[in-house]
Structure 1
Amino acid sequence: MTSAAPGAIPADSDKLDKGVLKIAGVTVLGAIMAILDTTVVSVALTTFQTVFEASTATVAWTMTGYTLALATVIPLTGWAADRFGTKRLYMVSIGLFLIGSVLCGLAWDITSLIVFRVLQGLGGGMLMPLGMTMLTRAAGPTRVGRVMAVLGVPMLLGPILGPILGGWLIDIASWHWIFFINVPIGLGALYAAWKILPKDTPTPSESFDFVGMALLSPGLAAFLYGVSSIPEVGTFAHARVLAPALIGLALMVAFVFHALRKDHPLIDLHLFRNRNLTVSVLTMSLFAIAFFGAMLLFPLYFQQVRLESSLSAGLLLAPQGLGAMLTMPIAGRLTDKYGPGRFVLTGIVLIGGGLAVFTQLTATTPYGVILPVLFVMGMGMGMTMMPVMSAAMSSLTHHEVARGSTLMNIVQQSAGSIGTALMSVILTNQFLSKPSGDIAQVLRDNPAAAADPQLLGQLLTPEQLQLVGQWSAQPGGLQAVLAGDMASGFGVTFIVATVLVAACLIPAFFLPRKRSEALPEGEQAQMPVAMH
């Protein structure tokens, strides 16, 4: 273990000093790059499809490959931080991410782009857990809520600002710049890390759990690969889904048996003896499935139903970010004083109420209704995700914080991938169950067919052509029918998201409702600096 960062403030202080805030700024810069790149690419998928003449399923792997790399590298972060030092590893991670970003911008075909996105993810996956470690070490356990609120800024705003930034860069420049924009941010983060982060001396750590790494990382990657394939094949019962998912589950089950027998496993499963951590994991799992799944739906609705541009779709999500910005720092401060329980419950109610409104979504729902509801949901988000993280972190001893942080990161990443796949499948199946669904799929895969009757005639069956003729004669034409059917599918999918959010109330009810006790001063000085 390394000693506390120079300038770390006493455990009983109520304020974050200038040194902690500087470290927070460095970690946020790194986290912004990693998290924005999970969403900024989403608005460029259609562009990739056109430029590289690739299918929708193929270009989707520019996002899936990045996500899998993020999840796979997380378990390695703790050992590497102990072995090489947090500052050094943080700078190496930023450098790796920068190299991947430049190569992505120079990609010559879809295959090279996917490979370079994986390289990006290998660097980006370490930035969030390393940032969480450095902030926890600098601020101390009684300020976990506030430092988690700092890290929550990129985590909550990434899904909102990503589409805005991506759409704007594509509109004014080209798709290359959604990757090149990382260069000035990354160079700034590297310089800031070099100047601001305290020097740490790597110390001998527990032996690396090679068996655990060989089981957990491939198992996690295989499982998420199977789950991520669900939207493409449209069903859970498909060999492309079941084979990797079952292999991944088998490897993870084997890891569980291995971890329960080993003295120093990669992830310490005995942490689940801690009631607060167990409750936090359950709450985070359900919340991440619903939250990240719902985040997928909003930009799709604006672009596919309301025919907004990428930039406009991103801007329409801004009220959500404003709501989160309003409540997140307040919730972080009050969580440290009164515990996370009451704030998480309130946040879940706000989010669930907002999603319930969207279950009645139509193709013409006024933006005067949609935008205020998004603002309210944003307020709920600011009161939910990071206080749940705080509940897990603040309840652990100084020997357990690193392993608990890693566990929460893995849970969040896995649950988010499951949520995205689940909502995608429900939405797709809802739409394809309608007569207009197959026609819309043809038009989406062949955009030129909408303006070329001869090509459209070659792609559609006689029955489908007859339906197109009938719908075209109705008020609003074919687009009005397609938009109405799509909006109906979104409404049903939001019902599922609402139920999942409501289910979060059950474990959240058991979250602590009082302030965490500070560790003794001597123990705080040994606050761990690495994740295992």
Structure 2
Amino acid sequence: MKKIDHKWLVVMSVLFGTFTVILNNSMLNPTLPTLMDIFHADAVAISWILTIFMVAMGTTMPLTGYLGDRFGKKKIYIIGLIIFMIGSISGALSSNLVTVIISRAIQGTAGGLMMPIAMALIFNAFPKNERGLAVGIYGVAAMVAPAIGPTIGGIVIGYLPWPFLFLVNIPFAITGIFLSIKFLSTTETNRSLKFDLVGFILITSGIASILYALGRGSTLELLLSPMSICLLAAGAVLIIAFVRYEGKLKQPLLDLSIFRIPTYSVSIAVTATASIGLFSGIFLLPLLIQEVYGLSEIQTGLLFLPAALLSGVSMSFGGKLLDKKGPKYVVPIGLVILGGFTLSLGFNTLSTSFWLILVLNCLRSAGLGMCNMPATTAGMNSIPDHQVAQGSAMNNVIRQIFSSFGIVFFSIYYEVRQAQLFSLDIAKQQATLQALNEAFLIAGTFILVMVPVSFVMKGVDELKKSSPQ
């Protein structure tokens, strides 16, 4: 039997950990109504189970570049896994909602440490011309976990006591720790690095303010409330202050000069757009299947499973094509497929079959796989290797913000537009369908606008030719 190359063991090691984090978060979405009954809590209180994870993860990510360089990427990744396991055990042993929320904050902090570092560890193990395929295979976790998470969460909460929502993480976390200790390579450390406390306070406060405002903005009234507007404004001011402050430092928390590299900046824009495409589908499709066509949660889960698998296949294919041809032959095509088939979901009628919607969603997911991770890889390849952890952190933070924005935007659009159509005496089923169709058309158009911009990105060979000798 042929021995597995060590670099692929690195991918397998980080795959276990990040898959667990993403899976656990998506598992909890369909269980919130049940948890409301268990803890006798209202929707606002129970929503903190999701909101606190998002905020904790988003505010921890900016630290990962410094921590990875100062203490070693392998060590920080393993610490993140251990913290995640502690949060999972704490969640399973919780007796009230407050301790569940605290446990989710611990899990979010762990996720913030792990996600950017995982990408840096893979980049450290592979040469630039092989990273596309490696990141494509790793990215399967990012696509499959959100698709199967709700189904698994529904099964767990339906047949097992609720603490198993947290206990299911433990075997994966232990396996991830074992594989990471055995196969991850120790990276260089820089003990002379100084911690930028002021920058940390500014960026984490800014991100936390924005993510919290978006997390609570499930309705137009909430988003336009004085508190939400103040949080969004404060977050924007703090981030602007952070950008100005970091430009004056010799050892900034995040080196923002990498945004001057066109390929990296455009890759951020593409992945942010792709995130809106991903999460608009995750939010809108269950409404279409259940509210318009009256089908079950199980059929909703069936809609996402083949799409996730096809996305994983296309992600690996796109990564391989990226390594051979460069981003211009992959990312624009992926965006056209994603945007085009998202638009096609805007023409559903009351007689549209479930199977047609399934096929359209599978095809748009194939496009997502071809544009998301390949764009990320092209962007990371364009920056110096020692800045990959920071570049990954910024990519993840911006993606997190735009994912939240996408969900908030489409949930509010759906709510407001549906109410307008009701006021015109349009039947509920037809009004719901029209509101969802319009939302898909908006999402598809937004994605397609990014197609010409994506041609700015350069591959490894082009970057070598354009760099000064």
TM-score bracket, normalised by the shorter chain, equals over 0.9
Which residue does 2:67 correspond to in 1? 80
CA distance in 2, matches of 1:393, 1:235: 37
Which residue does 1:365 correspond to in 2? 352
Confirm or deny that 1:255 pairs with 2:201.
no
Change (3 A) 1:88 1:321: same
Contact 1:293–1:421 (CA<8 Å) still a contact in 2?
no
Confirm or deny that 1:114 pairs with 2:97.
no
| Higher mean displacement: 131-140 or 201-210 | 201-210
Which residue does 2:78 correspond to in 1? 91
Which residue does 2:340 correspond to in 1? 353
Q: Which amino acid aligns with 2:324?
A: K
Give deviations 1:311-370, integer Å, cap 9, x for gaps.
Answer: 432222112112212211111111011111221111111111211121123454211211
CA distance in 1, matches of 2:462, 2:28: 39
Q: Which amino acid aligns with 1:425?
A: I
5+ residue gaps, structure 2, are none
Change (3 A) 1:57 1:271: same
Secondary structure of the residue aligned to 1:512 is coil
Q: Which of 488, 499, 508 is equivalent to 2:445?
A: 499
CA distance in 1, matches of 2:432, 2:45: 23
Which residue does 1:456 correspond to in 2? none
Confirm or deny that 1:285 pairs with 2:231.
no
Secondary structure of the residue aligned to 1:510 is coil
Which residue does 1:191 correspond to in 2? 178
Give deviations 1:130-179, integer Å, cap 9, x for gaps.
Answer: 11111111112222212221221111222211112212222332433222
CA distance in 2, matches of 1:434, 1:180: 44
Q: CA deviation at 1:417?
A: 1.3
Contact 1:356–1:495 (CA<8 Å) still a contact in 2?
yes
Change (3 A) 1:515 1:50: farther
Identity %: 27
Confirm or deny that 1:51 pairs with 2:54.
no
Q: Which of 193, 215, 232 is equivalent to 1:206?
A: 193
Give deviations 1:386-445, integer Å, cap 9, x for gaps.
Answer: 0110111111222333332222122211111111111111112222334499xxxxxxxx
Give deviations 1:447-469, integer Å, cap 9, x for gaps.
Answer: xxxxxxxxxxxxxxxxxxxx9xx
| Higher mean displacement: 81-90 or 262-271 | 81-90
Matching of residues 315-334 of structure 1 within 5 Å = 315-334=302-321
Q: Which amino acid aligns with 2:251?
A: H
Which residue does 1:225 correspond to in 2? 212
- TM-score, length-normalised on structure 2? 0.92
Change (3 A) 1:518 1:105: farther
Alignment root-mean-square deviation, CA: 2.4
Q: Which amino acid aligns with 1:335?
A: L
Contact 1:338–1:514 (CA<8 Å) still a contact in 2?
no
Q: Which of 386, 400, 410 is equivalent to 2:387?
A: 400
Contact 1:320–1:376 (CA<8 Å) still a contact in 2?
yes
CA distance in 2, matches of 1:281, 1:150: 20
Q: Which amino acid aligns with 1:214?
A: I
Q: Which amino acid aligns with 1:508?
A: S
Q: CA deviation at 1:265?
A: 1.1
Q: CA deviation at 1:100?
A: 1.1
Which residue does 2:435 correspond to in 1? 489
5+ residue gaps, structure 1, are 1-15, 438-466, 472-480, 520-532
Contact 1:351–1:376 (CA<8 Å) still a contact in 2?
yes
Which residue does 1:20 correspond to in 2? 7
Which residue does 1:379 correspond to in 2? 366
CA distance in 1, matches of 2:259, 2:459: 20
Confirm or deny that 1:508 pairs with 2:466.
no
Which residue does 2:378 correspond to in 1? 391
Q: CA deviation at 1:182?
A: 0.3
| Higher mean displacement: 242-251 or 160-169 | 160-169
CA distance in 2, matches of 1:249, 1:100: 30
Which residue does 2:155 correspond to in 1? 168
Q: Which of 132, 137, 143 is equivalent to 1:150?
A: 137
Confirm or deny that 1:298 pairs with 2:285.
yes
| Higher mean displacement: 287-296 or 27-36 | 287-296
Q: CA deviation at 1:274?
A: 1.0
Confirm or deny that 1:412 pairs with 2:358.
no
- TM-score, length-normalised on structure 1? 0.82
Change (3 A) 1:206 1:345: same
Q: CA deviation at 1:234?
A: 3.8
CA distance in 1, matches of 2:132, 2:309: 20
Which residue does 1:131 correspond to in 2? 118
CA distance in 1, matches of 2:176, 2:148: 19
Q: CA deviation at 1:235?
A: 5.6
Contact 1:142–1:517 (CA<8 Å) still a contact in 2?
no
Confirm or deny that 1:68 pairs with 2:52.
no
Q: Which amino acid aligns with 1:26?
A: S
Q: Which amino acid aligns with 2:436?
A: F
Q: Which amino acid aligns with 2:305?
A: A
CA distance in 1, matches of 2:5, 2:118: 17
Contact 1:234–1:425 (CA<8 Å) still a contact in 2?
no
Contact 1:395–1:516 (CA<8 Å) still a contact in 2?
no
CA distance in 1, matches of 2:140, 2:338: 18
Q: CA deviation at 1:485?
A: 3.0
- Greater helix share, structure number: 2
CA distance in 1, matches of 2:91, 2:206: 27
Q: Which of 229, 252, 276 is equivalent to 1:242?
A: 229
Confirm or deny that 1:433 pairs with 2:379.
no
Change (3 A) 1:518 1:275: closer
Secondary structure of the residue aligned to 1:46 is helix
Change (3 A) 1:283 1:58: same
Contact 2:291–2:429 (CA<8 Å) still a contact in 1?
yes
Q: Name the count of aligned residue pairs.
A: 463
Q: CA deviation at 1:513?
A: 5.8
Q: Which amino acid aligns with 1:198?
A: S
